[in-house]
Structure 1
Amino acid sequence: MSRLPTSFLNWFRRMIIVRKQNSQVLGRGSIRFLKSEDKQILAFIREYQGQRMLCVYNLGRKPGFTRLDLSEFNGWHLRETISSVRFPDIGELPYFFTMPRHSYFWLIMEAPNVTA
């Protein structure tokens, strides 16, 4: 069972690794809640020593969507913690999330490279 890369055991192992890699920001970081259009979707930013993570959870039994005002981070990049897939960059417009029921995103927030 553990030989299958898609097995629940391997997924759980990856989650433990991700949690350890981000333990400082998740465990000790400050928390700032964001306004969500859908009451079932909880969104907040954790920050610790310059590292930021956007956490979005659909706590509902149905799929949901929300738009988050992330305009203060215009130009920043979002990278999913488990797969390292890069999400579209944050812009001036609200950032849109469509989420299956009981789902979540942990997204590393990366500042744009500033060239001097």
Structure 2
Amino acid sequence: MLKIYHNARCKKSREGLEILKNSDKEFEIKEYLKEPLSEEELESLINKLDIAPIQLVRKNEKIWKEEYKDKDLSDRELITVMTKHPKLIERPIVEDDKKAVIGRPPSEIEKLL
């Protein structure tokens, strides 16, 4: 089954959710700001995305610019930061059992359908 990591306040995330609703696939919604991911869940997601943790960080967020931008963080430290501040996680993300995509643009989600 598909899972979307969703932020209802984000336009791209809402567009991604619409794509899933209009598909014939079953999916579940994880509102990751209300139910933050554990470090293990985030690490698994990053592996499915096949990216480096830094590629999942929203670098325009105020908290990133003020607290982390100029620090040389390891992958493990980046995962810890995103777990502590889930607002820093790029969205939406859709995953299945084997891989995941970042829905930017939302049409990327169609690769999993």
So what's the TM-score if we normalise by structure 1? 0.27
* Higher share of residues assigned strand: 1
* Higher share of residues assigned helix: 2
Greater relative contact order (CA < 8 Å, ≥ 6 in sequence): 2
Which structure is larger by alpha-carbon Rg, 1 or 2? 1
So what's the TM-score if we normalise by structure 2? 0.28
